[in-house]
């Protein structure tokens, strides 16, 4: 077996933000070649060992949240262009938080009800969520276009 002691891994601390290499992630995109090479940035919430870290991942990602340091890249803010991925605040509609739908990516049928995979305006694609049609009452135009395009009832 080849010795890899010459490998220099970056050191990370709890609370630091990092990019996660997505080569082993089960991402649902048509063309992997056109995807970004990293997801994030994510916050390190625990240091299991000098080379293994636990990240705060989006709750809809149903994957293990612990990664080797070789899959992580330090995140640095670029103040020339502003912060990366600032999330827009939700709109308040009759005291209820609402978010704007950018696009509907795909759909599936669960217990005879359509659920749609929604890309939210101003959020990363990693934060897309499955939503039942009842939650898309404010996005009637986008939902109507998607149904027409995919010939759904």
Contacts of 18 (CB under 8 A, 6+ apart): 12, 40, 41, 42, 44, 53, 55, 72, 73, 74, 75
Q: What is the pTM of this model?
A: 0.52
Which pLDDT band, with edges at 50, 70 and 90, does 121 fall under?
A: confident
Highest mean pLDDT among 1-10, 22-31, 104-113, 116-125: 104-113
pLDDT at 105: 94
**137 falls within a domain:** yes
Domains of the chain: total:
2
**138 falls within a domain:** yes
CATH number at residue 135: 2.40.50.40
Contacts of 13 (CB under 8 A, 6+ apart): 44, 47
How much helix, strand and coil, in percent to the nearest 5, is found in the chain?
15, 40, 45
User: Could you read off the pLDDT of 91-102 as tens digits, one per residue?
Assistant: 656 657 788 899
User: Comparing 21 with 35, which gets the higher pLDDT?
Assistant: 21
Across the range 7-35, mean pLDDT stands at 80
Across the range 7-16, mean pLDDT stands at 86
Contacts of 87 (CB under 8 A, 6+ apart): 122, 123
CA dihedral 73, 76, 78, 83 (to 10 degrees): 100
Q: Are residues 25 and 68 in the same domain?
A: yes
Across the range 99-123, mean pLDDT stands at 92
pLDDT at 28: 63
CA angle 110, 114, 115 (to 5 degrees): 80
Please say if the pLDDT value at position 85 is more than 60.
no
Q: In whole angstroms, give the CA distance from residue 19 to residue 12.
A: 12
Domain residue limits at 130: 91-149
User: Could you read off the pLDDT of 29-84 as tens digits, one per residue?
Assistant: 666 677 778 888 899 999 999 999 999 988 777 788 999 999 999 988 766 555 55
**11 falls within a domain:** no
Q: For 90-152, give the DSSP string.
A: PEEETTEEE--EEEEEEEEEETTEEEEEEEETTS-GGG-EEEEGGGGGGGHHHHHHHHHHTT-
Please say if the pLDDT value at position 22 is more than 70.
yes
**27 falls within a domain:** yes
Please say if the pLDDT value at position 1 is more than 60.
no
User: Comparing 76 with 144, which gets the higher pLDDT?
Assistant: 144
């Amino acid at each position: 077996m080849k010795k890899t002691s010459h490998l220099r891994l970056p050191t990370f601390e709890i609370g630091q933000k990092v990019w996660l290499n997505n080569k082993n992630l089960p991402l649902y995109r048509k063309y992997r070649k056109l995807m970004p090479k990293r997801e994030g940035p994510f916050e390190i919430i625990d240091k299991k060992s000098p080379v293994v870290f636990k990240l705060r991942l989006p709750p809809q990602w149903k994957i293990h949240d612990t990664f080797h340091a070789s899959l992580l890249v330090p995140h640095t803010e670029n103040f020339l262009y502003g912060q990366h991925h600032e999330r827009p605040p939700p709109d308040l509609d009759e005291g209820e938080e609402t978010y704007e739908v950018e696009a509907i990516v795909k759909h599936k049928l669960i217990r005879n009800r359509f659920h749609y995979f929604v890309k939210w305006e101003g959020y990363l694609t990693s934060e897309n969520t499955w939503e039942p049609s009842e939650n898309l009452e404010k996005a009637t135009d986008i939902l109507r276009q998607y149904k027409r395009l995919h010939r759904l009832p």
